[in-house]
Amino acid sequence: MTKQVTFEKIVGGGKALGYLDGKPCFAAGPLPGEVCDVVVKREKAGFAEANVARIVQPVAERSLPAEDHYLECSPWQNVVYDRQLELKRAMLAEAYSGPKLHLPVTAMTGAKKQIGYRNKLEFSLRKGEHVDLAFHARGSYEELVALPEGCRLGSEAINKAALAIAGRIEALKLAGYVETVTVRQSVANGGLLGVVALHQVPKRAWDDLGGLGLAGLVVTRVRHRDAHELVWHDGELQLEEKIAGLNLAYPYDGFFQTNPPAFEDALAGILAAIPKGANVVDLYGGVGSIGLAVAGRADSVVGVEVNLSSVEWSLGNADRNGIVNYTAVHAPAERLEVKVLRGADCVIVDPPRAGLHGRVIDSLLEAGPARIVYLSCNPATQVRDVQLLSEAYRAQGVDGFDFYPGTLHLESLVVLDRI
Protein backbone atom coordinates (compact mmCIF):
# COMPACT_ATOMS: atom_id res chain seq x y z
CA MET A 1 0.00 0.00 0.00
CA THR A 2 1.44 3.38 -0.99
CA LYS A 3 1.06 6.66 0.87
CA GLN A 4 1.87 10.17 -0.31
CA VAL A 5 4.51 12.32 1.34
CA THR A 6 5.85 15.80 0.60
CA PHE A 7 9.56 15.88 1.44
CA GLU A 8 10.96 19.04 2.95
CA LYS A 9 14.74 18.72 3.33
CA ILE A 10 17.80 16.49 3.26
CA VAL A 11 19.10 15.43 6.68
CA GLY A 12 22.25 13.74 7.94
CA GLY A 13 23.15 10.64 5.95
CA GLY A 14 21.47 12.03 2.83
CA LYS A 15 17.91 10.83 3.41
CA ALA A 16 14.96 13.13 2.74
CA LEU A 17 12.63 14.13 5.56
CA GLY A 18 8.88 14.50 5.19
CA TYR A 19 5.90 13.87 7.44
CA LEU A 20 3.43 11.00 7.27
CA ASP A 21 0.38 11.27 9.53
CA GLY A 22 2.30 13.84 11.55
CA LYS A 23 5.28 11.54 12.06
CA PRO A 24 8.78 12.11 10.58
CA CYS A 25 9.27 9.93 7.50
CA PHE A 26 12.69 9.29 5.98
CA ALA A 27 13.44 8.01 2.46
CA ALA A 28 16.48 7.72 0.19
CA GLY A 29 16.16 9.56 -3.11
CA PRO A 30 13.58 12.37 -2.86
CA LEU A 31 14.65 16.01 -3.15
CA PRO A 32 13.31 18.92 -1.10
CA GLY A 33 9.89 19.96 -2.41
CA GLU A 34 9.05 16.65 -4.10
CA VAL A 35 5.79 14.78 -3.60
CA CYS A 36 6.28 11.00 -3.66
CA ASP A 37 4.25 7.84 -3.31
CA VAL A 38 6.10 5.73 -0.75
CA VAL A 39 5.88 2.28 0.78
CA VAL A 40 6.60 2.22 4.50
CA LYS A 41 9.29 -0.37 5.26
CA ARG A 42 9.81 0.27 8.95
CA GLU A 43 7.68 2.12 11.48
CA LYS A 44 8.54 3.06 15.06
CA ALA A 45 6.74 5.16 17.65
CA GLY A 46 8.58 8.32 16.65
CA PHE A 47 9.39 7.91 12.94
CA ALA A 48 8.94 5.87 9.78
CA GLU A 49 11.34 4.73 7.04
CA ALA A 50 10.03 4.33 3.50
CA ASN A 51 11.01 3.42 -0.04
CA VAL A 52 9.97 5.58 -2.97
CA ALA A 53 7.46 3.91 -5.30
CA ARG A 54 6.90 6.92 -7.59
CA ILE A 55 7.84 10.58 -7.74
CA VAL A 56 4.46 12.27 -8.25
CA GLN A 57 5.74 15.85 -8.48
CA PRO A 58 9.47 16.03 -9.35
CA VAL A 59 11.52 19.20 -9.03
CA ALA A 60 13.29 20.81 -11.97
CA GLU A 61 16.73 19.41 -11.06
CA ARG A 62 15.71 15.91 -12.13
CA SER A 63 17.30 14.29 -15.19
CA LEU A 64 16.94 10.85 -16.76
CA PRO A 65 18.62 8.02 -14.80
CA ALA A 66 21.25 5.91 -16.52
CA GLU A 67 19.55 2.65 -15.51
CA ASP A 68 16.24 1.31 -14.28
CA HIS A 69 17.52 0.00 -10.94
CA TYR A 70 19.08 3.31 -9.87
CA LEU A 71 17.13 3.43 -6.56
CA GLU A 72 19.04 0.31 -5.46
CA CYS A 73 22.53 1.59 -6.27
CA SER A 74 22.48 5.40 -6.52
CA PRO A 75 19.17 7.10 -5.70
CA TRP A 76 20.40 10.54 -6.82
CA GLN A 77 21.53 9.21 -10.20
CA ASN A 78 18.75 11.19 -11.87
CA VAL A 79 19.64 14.47 -10.14
CA VAL A 80 21.64 17.09 -12.09
CA TYR A 81 25.21 16.71 -10.83
CA ASP A 82 25.72 20.33 -9.77
CA ARG A 83 22.63 19.95 -7.60
CA GLN A 84 24.02 16.75 -6.07
CA LEU A 85 27.13 18.65 -5.03
CA GLU A 86 25.02 21.48 -3.59
CA LEU A 87 23.05 18.98 -1.53
CA LYS A 88 26.17 17.23 -0.27
CA ARG A 89 27.78 20.54 0.64
CA ALA A 90 24.63 21.46 2.56
CA MET A 91 24.65 18.06 4.33
CA LEU A 92 28.23 18.64 5.42
CA ALA A 93 27.50 22.21 6.52
CA GLU A 94 24.55 21.02 8.60
CA ALA A 95 26.65 18.31 10.24
CA TYR A 96 29.21 20.95 11.29
CA SER A 97 26.73 23.63 12.42
CA GLY A 98 26.01 22.41 15.94
CA PRO A 99 26.17 24.62 19.03
CA LYS A 100 29.35 22.93 20.30
CA LEU A 101 31.18 22.78 16.97
CA HIS A 102 30.82 25.02 13.94
CA LEU A 103 33.13 24.66 10.96
CA PRO A 104 32.67 26.22 7.52
CA VAL A 105 32.73 23.99 4.44
CA THR A 106 35.73 25.35 2.56
CA ALA A 107 35.40 23.14 -0.55
CA MET A 108 33.20 20.43 -2.09
CA THR A 109 35.15 18.55 -4.75
CA GLY A 110 33.13 16.65 -7.34
CA ALA A 111 34.10 13.41 -9.05
CA LYS A 112 35.54 13.38 -12.56
CA LYS A 113 33.05 10.70 -13.68
CA GLN A 114 29.44 10.27 -12.57
CA ILE A 115 28.94 6.88 -14.27
CA GLY A 116 31.40 3.99 -14.57
CA TYR A 117 33.55 5.26 -11.71
CA ARG A 118 33.67 2.14 -9.51
CA ASN A 119 36.56 -0.32 -9.82
CA LYS A 120 34.61 -2.98 -7.94
CA LEU A 121 31.06 -4.33 -8.20
CA GLU A 122 29.61 -7.01 -5.95
CA PHE A 123 26.46 -8.83 -7.08
CA SER A 124 24.05 -11.33 -5.63
CA LEU A 125 22.43 -13.90 -7.91
CA ARG A 126 18.70 -14.16 -8.53
CA LYS A 127 17.84 -17.76 -9.26
CA GLY A 128 14.73 -18.26 -11.38
CA GLU A 129 14.26 -19.61 -14.88
CA HIS A 130 17.70 -18.11 -15.51
CA VAL A 131 20.48 -17.00 -13.19
CA ASP A 132 20.69 -13.20 -13.13
CA LEU A 133 23.05 -10.79 -11.49
CA ALA A 134 21.11 -8.89 -8.83
CA PHE A 135 21.19 -6.25 -6.12
CA HIS A 136 19.10 -6.32 -2.97
CA ALA A 137 16.12 -4.01 -3.20
CA ARG A 138 16.72 -0.94 -1.04
CA GLY A 139 15.79 -1.70 2.54
CA SER A 140 15.25 -5.43 1.95
CA TYR A 141 17.33 -8.49 2.84
CA GLU A 142 15.11 -10.84 0.86
CA GLU A 143 13.95 -9.05 -2.31
CA LEU A 144 16.38 -9.10 -5.22
CA VAL A 145 16.30 -6.85 -8.29
CA ALA A 146 17.60 -8.50 -11.46
CA LEU A 147 20.33 -6.70 -13.42
CA PRO A 148 20.29 -8.18 -16.93
CA GLU A 149 23.08 -5.83 -18.06
CA GLY A 150 24.87 -5.38 -14.74
CA CYS A 151 25.29 -1.94 -13.19
CA ARG A 152 26.63 1.17 -14.91
CA LEU A 153 28.43 2.38 -11.82
CA GLY A 154 31.13 -0.03 -12.97
CA SER A 155 32.87 -0.17 -16.35
CA GLU A 156 31.57 -2.07 -19.35
CA ALA A 157 34.44 -4.54 -18.88
CA ILE A 158 33.47 -5.24 -15.24
CA ASN A 159 29.88 -5.90 -16.23
CA LYS A 160 30.80 -8.15 -19.15
CA ALA A 161 33.03 -10.18 -16.86
CA ALA A 162 30.35 -10.49 -14.17
CA LEU A 163 27.75 -11.57 -16.73
CA ALA A 164 30.16 -14.15 -18.14
CA ILE A 165 30.81 -15.55 -14.65
CA ALA A 166 27.07 -15.72 -13.93
CA GLY A 167 26.52 -17.50 -17.25
CA ARG A 168 29.19 -20.07 -16.44
CA ILE A 169 27.70 -20.59 -12.96
CA GLU A 170 24.30 -21.23 -14.53
CA ALA A 171 25.73 -23.66 -17.09
CA LEU A 172 27.52 -25.61 -14.35
CA LYS A 173 24.46 -25.59 -12.05
CA LEU A 174 26.38 -23.93 -9.21
CA ALA A 175 24.00 -21.06 -8.45
CA GLY A 176 22.61 -22.68 -5.29
CA TYR A 177 26.05 -22.57 -3.68
CA VAL A 178 26.92 -18.95 -4.53
CA GLU A 179 26.73 -16.08 -2.07
CA THR A 180 28.11 -13.29 -4.26
CA VAL A 181 29.98 -12.59 -7.50
CA THR A 182 32.50 -9.75 -7.34
CA VAL A 183 34.59 -8.27 -10.14
CA ARG A 184 37.45 -5.83 -9.50
CA GLN A 185 39.36 -3.89 -12.15
CA SER A 186 42.65 -2.03 -12.18
CA VAL A 187 42.18 1.53 -13.43
CA ALA A 188 45.89 1.61 -14.24
CA ASN A 189 46.09 -1.42 -16.55
CA GLY A 190 42.50 -2.60 -17.05
CA GLY A 191 43.13 -6.04 -15.54
CA LEU A 192 40.04 -7.86 -14.22
CA LEU A 193 39.82 -10.18 -11.24
CA GLY A 194 36.64 -12.14 -10.40
CA VAL A 195 35.70 -13.63 -7.04
CA VAL A 196 32.93 -16.22 -6.62
CA ALA A 197 32.08 -16.48 -2.92
CA LEU A 198 30.32 -19.68 -1.81
CA HIS A 199 28.29 -20.31 1.34
CA GLN A 200 28.77 -24.05 0.80
CA VAL A 201 31.50 -25.82 -1.17
CA PRO A 202 30.41 -28.78 -3.35
CA LYS A 203 32.82 -31.65 -3.92
CA ARG A 204 33.96 -31.07 -7.48
CA ALA A 205 36.86 -29.95 -9.64
CA TRP A 206 36.85 -26.23 -10.50
CA ASP A 207 38.88 -25.93 -13.70
CA ASP A 208 35.72 -25.78 -15.85
CA LEU A 209 34.86 -22.45 -14.21
CA GLY A 210 37.96 -20.85 -15.75
CA GLY A 211 38.78 -19.81 -19.29
CA LEU A 212 36.86 -16.53 -19.19
CA GLY A 213 39.79 -14.34 -20.19
CA LEU A 214 40.25 -12.65 -16.81
CA ALA A 215 43.59 -11.85 -15.21
CA GLY A 216 42.40 -13.95 -12.29
CA LEU A 217 39.37 -15.88 -11.08
CA VAL A 218 39.01 -16.94 -7.45
CA VAL A 219 36.58 -19.22 -5.63
CA THR A 220 36.26 -18.70 -1.89
CA ARG A 221 34.17 -19.95 1.00
CA VAL A 222 32.65 -17.28 3.24
CA ARG A 223 33.65 -17.86 6.86
CA HIS A 224 32.20 -14.56 8.06
CA ARG A 225 31.69 -11.10 6.58
CA ASP A 226 35.37 -10.15 6.41
CA ALA A 227 37.01 -13.57 6.10
CA HIS A 228 37.02 -15.80 3.03
CA GLU A 229 38.84 -19.12 2.69
CA LEU A 230 40.54 -19.70 -0.66
CA VAL A 231 39.08 -22.77 -2.42
CA TRP A 232 40.52 -22.48 -5.96
CA HIS A 233 42.01 -19.92 -8.26
CA ASP A 234 43.04 -19.50 -11.87
CA GLY A 235 45.58 -16.80 -12.68
CA GLU A 236 46.35 -13.78 -10.51
CA LEU A 237 45.37 -13.31 -6.87
CA GLN A 238 46.14 -9.60 -6.84
CA LEU A 239 45.55 -6.35 -8.69
CA GLU A 240 47.87 -3.39 -9.21
CA GLU A 241 46.91 0.26 -9.13
CA LYS A 242 48.72 3.55 -9.54
CA ILE A 243 47.99 6.13 -6.82
CA ALA A 244 49.82 9.45 -6.58
CA GLY A 245 52.57 8.09 -8.83
CA LEU A 246 53.03 4.93 -6.73
CA ASN A 247 52.53 1.37 -7.96
CA LEU A 248 50.40 -0.34 -5.31
CA ALA A 249 49.34 -3.98 -5.22
CA TYR A 250 46.46 -5.40 -3.19
CA PRO A 251 44.90 -8.88 -2.84
CA TYR A 252 41.61 -10.12 -4.24
CA ASP A 253 40.02 -9.96 -0.75
CA GLY A 254 41.68 -6.77 0.49
CA PHE A 255 40.26 -3.30 0.99
CA PHE A 256 41.13 -0.71 -1.65
CA GLN A 257 39.52 2.57 -2.62
CA THR A 258 36.77 1.95 -5.18
CA ASN A 259 37.12 5.31 -6.97
CA PRO A 260 40.90 5.92 -7.23
CA PRO A 261 40.74 9.28 -9.11
CA ALA A 262 38.37 10.75 -6.48
CA PHE A 263 40.55 9.32 -3.71
CA GLU A 264 43.55 11.06 -5.25
CA ASP A 265 41.71 14.40 -4.88
CA ALA A 266 41.37 13.80 -1.14
CA LEU A 267 44.93 12.51 -0.97
CA ALA A 268 46.16 15.81 -2.42
CA GLY A 269 44.48 17.56 0.52
CA ILE A 270 46.16 15.18 2.96
CA LEU A 271 49.58 15.69 1.35
CA ALA A 272 49.19 19.46 1.55
CA ALA A 273 48.58 19.13 5.32
CA ILE A 274 51.73 17.09 6.05
CA PRO A 275 54.59 19.30 7.28
CA LYS A 276 57.82 18.70 5.39
CA GLY A 277 60.14 16.45 7.38
CA ALA A 278 57.43 15.35 9.85
CA ASN A 279 57.35 12.04 11.67
CA VAL A 280 53.95 10.61 10.71
CA VAL A 281 51.75 7.83 12.07
CA ASP A 282 49.04 6.58 9.68
CA LEU A 283 46.28 4.83 11.63
CA TYR A 284 44.04 2.40 9.71
CA GLY A 285 46.87 2.25 7.17
CA GLY A 286 45.64 -0.65 4.99
CA VAL A 287 47.99 -1.55 2.14
CA GLY A 288 49.70 1.83 2.43
CA SER A 289 47.79 3.99 -0.06
CA ILE A 290 47.98 7.06 2.23
CA GLY A 291 51.07 6.35 4.30
CA LEU A 292 53.29 5.55 1.33
CA ALA A 293 52.04 8.60 -0.56
CA VAL A 294 53.07 10.94 2.27
CA ALA A 295 56.46 9.23 2.75
CA GLY A 296 57.99 11.52 0.13
CA ARG A 297 57.26 14.56 2.33
CA ALA A 298 57.86 12.96 5.71
CA ASP A 299 61.00 12.01 7.60
CA SER A 300 59.34 8.76 8.70
CA VAL A 301 55.95 7.07 8.41
CA VAL A 302 54.54 4.31 10.59
CA GLY A 303 51.45 2.55 9.21
CA VAL A 304 49.18 0.95 11.81
CA GLU A 305 46.75 -1.73 10.62
CA VAL A 306 44.68 -4.44 12.31
CA ASN A 307 44.72 -6.81 9.32
CA LEU A 308 48.01 -8.72 9.17
CA SER A 309 47.69 -9.40 5.44
CA SER A 310 47.33 -5.67 4.75
CA VAL A 311 50.41 -4.95 6.88
CA GLU A 312 52.42 -7.39 4.76
CA TRP A 313 51.07 -5.88 1.54
CA SER A 314 51.96 -2.37 2.71
CA LEU A 315 55.54 -3.42 3.38
CA GLY A 316 55.65 -5.11 -0.02
CA ASN A 317 54.35 -1.90 -1.61
CA ALA A 318 57.07 0.08 0.15
CA ASP A 319 59.70 -2.25 -1.36
CA ARG A 320 57.99 -2.09 -4.77
CA ASN A 321 58.37 1.69 -4.79
CA GLY A 322 61.81 1.91 -3.19
CA ILE A 323 60.45 3.64 -0.06
CA VAL A 324 62.79 3.13 2.89
CA ASN A 325 61.28 5.47 5.52
CA TYR A 326 58.06 3.47 5.96
CA THR A 327 57.44 0.82 8.62
CA ALA A 328 54.23 -0.93 9.64
CA VAL A 329 52.76 -2.13 12.94
CA HIS A 330 50.20 -4.91 13.21
CA ALA A 331 47.73 -3.71 15.84
CA PRO A 332 44.18 -2.42 16.27
CA ALA A 333 44.33 1.38 16.47
CA GLU A 334 42.61 1.31 19.88
CA ARG A 335 45.30 -0.99 21.31
CA LEU A 336 48.31 0.78 19.90
CA GLU A 337 50.88 1.74 22.53
CA VAL A 338 50.71 5.47 23.19
CA LYS A 339 54.49 5.72 22.83
CA VAL A 340 54.11 5.15 19.07
CA LEU A 341 51.91 8.25 18.86
CA ARG A 342 54.17 10.27 21.17
CA GLY A 343 56.88 10.09 18.55
CA ALA A 344 54.65 11.62 15.86
CA ASP A 345 54.46 15.22 14.71
CA CYS A 346 51.39 14.36 12.64
CA VAL A 347 48.83 11.55 12.87
CA ILE A 348 46.59 10.60 9.92
CA VAL A 349 43.32 8.82 10.64
CA ASP A 350 40.99 7.29 8.04
CA PRO A 351 38.68 5.09 10.13
CA PRO A 352 35.67 2.97 9.10
CA ARG A 353 32.16 4.45 9.28
CA ALA A 354 31.97 3.95 13.04
CA GLY A 355 34.69 6.57 13.47
CA LEU A 356 37.41 6.60 16.11
CA HIS A 357 37.25 4.26 19.08
CA GLY A 358 37.16 6.10 22.41
CA ARG A 359 40.58 4.69 23.28
CA VAL A 360 42.02 6.22 20.10
CA ILE A 361 40.63 9.64 21.12
CA ASP A 362 42.17 9.21 24.59
CA SER A 363 45.53 8.17 23.14
CA LEU A 364 45.63 11.12 20.74
CA LEU A 365 44.84 13.56 23.56
CA GLU A 366 47.50 11.95 25.75
CA ALA A 367 50.18 11.85 23.03
CA GLY A 368 49.38 15.35 21.75
CA PRO A 369 50.79 15.33 18.19
CA ALA A 370 51.01 18.81 16.69
CA ARG A 371 48.57 17.94 13.91
CA ILE A 372 45.83 15.37 13.22
CA VAL A 373 44.62 14.88 9.65
CA TYR A 374 41.21 13.20 9.68
CA LEU A 375 39.63 11.74 6.52
CA SER A 376 36.15 10.32 7.09
CA CYS A 377 33.52 8.39 5.13
CA ASN A 378 30.88 9.36 7.70
CA PRO A 379 30.68 13.05 8.67
CA ALA A 380 28.32 12.26 11.57
CA THR A 381 30.93 10.22 13.46
CA GLN A 382 33.69 12.62 12.38
CA VAL A 383 31.80 15.52 13.98
CA ARG A 384 31.49 13.51 17.21
CA ASP A 385 35.22 12.76 17.23
CA VAL A 386 36.29 16.32 16.36
CA GLN A 387 34.14 17.56 19.27
CA LEU A 388 35.90 15.13 21.62
CA LEU A 389 39.31 16.28 20.37
CA SER A 390 38.38 19.96 20.63
CA GLU A 391 39.60 20.20 24.22
CA ALA A 392 43.12 20.23 22.78
CA TYR A 393 42.72 20.80 19.02
CA ARG A 394 41.15 23.31 16.65
CA ALA A 395 40.23 23.13 12.97
CA GLN A 396 39.62 26.00 10.55
CA GLY A 397 37.22 24.24 8.18
CA VAL A 398 36.12 21.02 6.53
CA ASP A 399 36.52 19.91 2.90
CA GLY A 400 34.06 17.56 1.20
CA PHE A 401 34.77 15.03 -1.55
CA ASP A 402 32.26 13.13 -3.67
CA PHE A 403 33.70 9.65 -4.05
CA TYR A 404 30.31 8.14 -4.98
CA PRO A 405 28.21 10.27 -7.36
CA GLY A 406 24.51 9.50 -7.35
CA THR A 407 24.63 8.07 -3.82
CA LEU A 408 23.94 9.73 -0.48
CA HIS A 409 27.56 9.34 0.69
CA LEU A 410 30.41 11.84 0.90
CA GLU A 411 33.91 11.97 2.38
CA SER A 412 35.15 14.81 4.55
CA LEU A 413 38.63 16.01 5.50
CA VAL A 414 39.48 18.00 8.63
CA VAL A 415 42.94 19.18 9.69
CA LEU A 416 43.25 19.70 13.46
CA ASP A 417 46.09 21.64 15.06
CA ARG A 418 47.01 21.47 18.73
CA ILE A 419 46.00 24.57 20.65
Residues carrying an active site annotation: 377
Rounded to 5°, the CA angle 97-101-106 comes to: 60
Q: At 302, is the secondary structure helix, strand, or coil? A: strand
Beta bridge partners of 105: 398
Beta bridge partners of 197: 180, 220
Residue type, 372: I
Buried b (16+ CB within 10 A) or exposed e, 240-268: bbebbebebbbbbbbbbbbbbebbbbbbe
User: For residues 196 and 177, what is the distance between their CA atoms, to the nearest angstrom?
Assistant: 10
User: For residues 142 and 289, what is the distance between their CA atoms, to the nearest angstrom?
Assistant: 36
Residue type, 330: H
User: For residues 31 and 313, what is the distance between their CA atoms, to the nearest angstrom?
Assistant: 43
- Is the CB of residue 333 less than 8 Å from the CB of residue 283? yes
- Is the CB of residue 410 less than 8 Å from the CB of residue 107? no
